[in-house]
Amino acid sequence: MDLSGKVLLEFHHRQAEFLKGELDNCSRSVLAASTMYLTGHKDSADRKVSDAEQGYASVLRLLSDPHYSRYLTIKAIQEFTAKMGILRKTLDGLQRK
């Protein structure tokens, strides 16, 4: 494999890592928000929910864009979609508090 091929392969691998990192950050924000709601810190919790919503929207936009997602494996897309479903359900539950 030539250098440009190696660089492209690494770039495409980083896309999946970026999406995983974004979803991990969203999950941490949701966990923090949940704790903050329980301890009566509603304003802080609302900010964490907002952070998670923004991250969720970014990942959704990138997964929905064929130009970006075409380098992801089917398995990776399925895993991200499953994680996003759980995250969406949790976010919806938090916003009812």
pTM: 0.83
State how many domains the chain has: 1
CB of 55 closer than 8 Å to CB of 86? no
Q: In the chain, what percentage of residues exceed pLDDT 90?
A: 65
Given the structure tokens 């091929």, which residue do they identify?
5
Structural domain for 55, as ranges: 3-94
pLDDT tens-place string over residues 6-46: 655 666 668 888 899 999 999 999 999 999 999 999 999 99
pLDDT at res. 90: 95
Contacts of 97 (CB under 8 A, 6+ apart): 37, 45
The four Cα atoms 56, 59, 61, 66 give a dihedral, to 10 degrees, of -160
CB of 62 closer than 8 Å to CB of 68? yes
